[in-house]
Structure 1
């Protein structure tokens, strides 16, 4: 069964937003994988799905210091 990779909606073709730099994600059951869309032949980074969900929640809550 082929893997369905999803690309970020911010990937754009250039300009200020995205600039074509993008990551893609795919689900592998209990694991979530991330890869560089410009290098799909390289092995993806894999994380347990609950850990990835926690990381995304942290990012979406804007919990980063900008100092």
Structure 2
């Protein structure tokens, strides 16, 4: 996907243990589409994955429901 993501307001989780040094960053592109861009905080110039609003909602819902709590398994 080739698009301008220079205006993304990147955010790091407040739960990141080292202030975001080894985490992912996420933010909405400025186009108002409702999509969410995700990148690695230590490699901001590397690849970016862009999710639709529905995909992001499903992911966040899964996190809240414990679907990704692999340590508890």
Structure 2 residue runs without a partner (length 5+): 1-5
Q: Distance in 2 between matches of 1:59 and 1:43?
A: 23
Q: Write out aligned runs for 1:1-12 (5 A).
A: 2-12=7-17
CA 1:63–1:3: 2 relative to 1, 3 Å: closer
Shift in Å, 1:24: 0.5
Structure 1 residue runs without a partner (length 5+): none
Deviations 1:3-36 (A, max 9, x none): 210111122328xxx7x32111011223211000
TM-score by length of 2: 0.69
Write 1 or 2 for the structure with the bigger share of strand.
Answer: 1
* Cα RMSD (Å): 2.3
Shift in Å, 1:49: 1.2
Aligned pair count reads 63
The yes-or-no answer on 1:56 pairing with 2:65 is no
